[in-house]
Amino acid sequence: MKKTTIVALMILSAQCFAGSLNDSLQDIESEWAIIHYNTPDKKQEIAYNKLYSKVMHLAKEYPNKAEPLIWEAIIKACNADHINAVKALENIHDAHDLLQEAIKRDPAALGGSAYVTLGALYYMTPLWPIGFGDENVAKYMFENAIKINPEGLESNYFYAEFLLSLNQLDEAEKYYKKAISIPSRPEQKFADDQLRALARQGLKKAEVKKLEDTNGIFTSFVKKEILN
């Protein structure tokens, strides 16, 4: 067999490999979106467990890829809301470790989703010794995600949520607006439309919070003037 033929077959195999993995990842994300946004809470644990089995199979099929690890972590973290507290904490720690390993393999996998998910975990998880919550680390994770994928709906939305939690309202508004402006991916229109709707809700929360803060300052000023 000629060397050119061998090279051609190697390239073709790599393309098939990538196509097969991408197709599987698209299916997993679509199924996750249906569970997360459209499935009743009481049925989500069973649905997540079934999806997790599919992701585990994909991880075995592609043992060196970062993407299956990210989805393992996402499903574990999402399912934590539907199980007992002890098991939920185990899931969160497992998700943390999976995401750290995914970053070692490929920091840019799935548009930096490992950084986004870690950022969310670091600011939503309880502090040590119960958990590993850390706002500074969360900020670092989100900033890395934005650097990797500045046009990512996911990265902009979750960073905005984090900033809102810190009452950094101007910055939160900036990233919510960015998230809202990003068009849906044709292959994941349902998931992206849902997240953009959440970004609009978040933007309204930030705007209301700013108004409340402004009114509070005005009210305090008026009270001070009256008392004087």
Sign of CA dihedral 195, 200, 204, 206: positive
Give average pLDDT by consecutive 10-residue segment, the chain, 228 residues: 40 44 95 96 96 96 96 96 90 95 97 96 84 92 97 97 97 98 95 97 96 68 42
The pLDDT of residue 213 = 82
26-40 pLDDT, tens digit per residue, is 999 999 999 999 999
Q: Could you tell me the residue ranges of all domains in the chain?
A: 150-228
Please, which residues have CB within 8 angstroms of residue 7's CB and are 6 or more apart in sequence?
Answer: none
Residue 5, classified by CB atoms within 10 Å of its CB into exposed (0-12), middle (13-18) or buried (19+), is: exposed
Query: How are the residues of the chain apportioned to helix, strand and coil, as percentages rounded to the nearest 5?
Result: 85, 0, 15
pLDDT given at position 50? 96
Count of alpha carbons within 13 angstroms of residue 101, beta-carbon side = 18
Question: Mean pLDDT score of the chain, rounded to an integer?
Answer: 87
**Count of H-run helices and E-run strands, the chain:** 9, 0
What are the b/e assignments for 175-204, b being 16+ CB within 10 Å? Answer: bbebbbebeeeeebeebbebbbebbeebbe
